[in-house]
């Protein structure tokens, strides 16, 4: 299921949702699928563990991206445990096949990806999990932006990250 193109998310009704198959063919629904369908399909086709993808134009994430500031180093412990490394996909024209190619390079080891100048995507085993990851990513970006304004972003060191990876394995049984 995917949201339609051109319909404000706050005005969506269940009947507006479009059902597509893994090749992008519309199975049911009267609307045209979101132009971001290609990036969503790239995730589903590359990550069989993913059952939900959420994409949004998050203001703090996008601002950091525009400023060239990445979140690929661990900033907040809970974010790292929840999502693993957060990569930034190279710039791609929105609503194009370029976006799918750009994210395929970085989605293997993370549950969230920043789209250069275009917000972010988060993935999960459920819609709630994907949404919560996206929300946590925006929170982390806001904290990092505030820290940068105050002087610098202090990242977790290798020893701290190693302990968080162990904790993540115990909690979630995963390396992503």
State the Rg of the chain over Cα.
Answer: 16
CA-nearest of 134, 26, 25 to 79 is: 134
Q: Are 142 and 79 in contact (CB under 8 A)?
A: no
Distance CA 88, CA 72 (A): 7
- Beta partners for residue 55, in sequence order: 121
End-to-end CA distance of the chain: 24
26: tokens are 């519309």
98 is catalytic: no
Out of 11, 36, 98, 135, the active site residue is 36
b/e string for 58-96 if b means 16 or more Cβ within 10 A?
bebbbebbeeeeebeebbeeebbbbbbbbbbbeebeeee
**Catalytic residue numbers, as ranges:** 36
């Amino acid at each position: 299921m995917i949201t339609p193109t051109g319909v404000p998310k706050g005005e969506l009704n269940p009947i507006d949702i479009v059902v597509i198959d893994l090749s992008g063919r519309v199975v049911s629904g009267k609307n045209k699928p979101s132009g971001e369908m290609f990036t969503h399909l790239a995730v589903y086709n590359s990550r069989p563990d993913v059952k939900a993808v959420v994409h949004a134009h998050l203001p703090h994430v996008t601002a950091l991206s525009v400023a060239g500031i990445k979140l690929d180093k661990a900033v907040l412990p809970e974010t790292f445990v929840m999502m693993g490394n957060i990569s930034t996909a190279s710039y791609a024209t929105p609503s194009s096949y370029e976006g799918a190619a750009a994210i395929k390079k970085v989605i293997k080891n993370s549950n969230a990806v920043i789209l250069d100048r275009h917000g972010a995507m988060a993935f999960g085993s459920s819609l709630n999990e994907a949404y919560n990851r996206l929300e946590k990513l925006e929170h982390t970006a806001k904290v990092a932006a505030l820290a940068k304004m105050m002087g610098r972003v202090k990242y977790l060191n290798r020893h701290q990250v190693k302990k968080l990876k162990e904790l993540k394995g115990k909690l979630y049984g995963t390396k992503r």
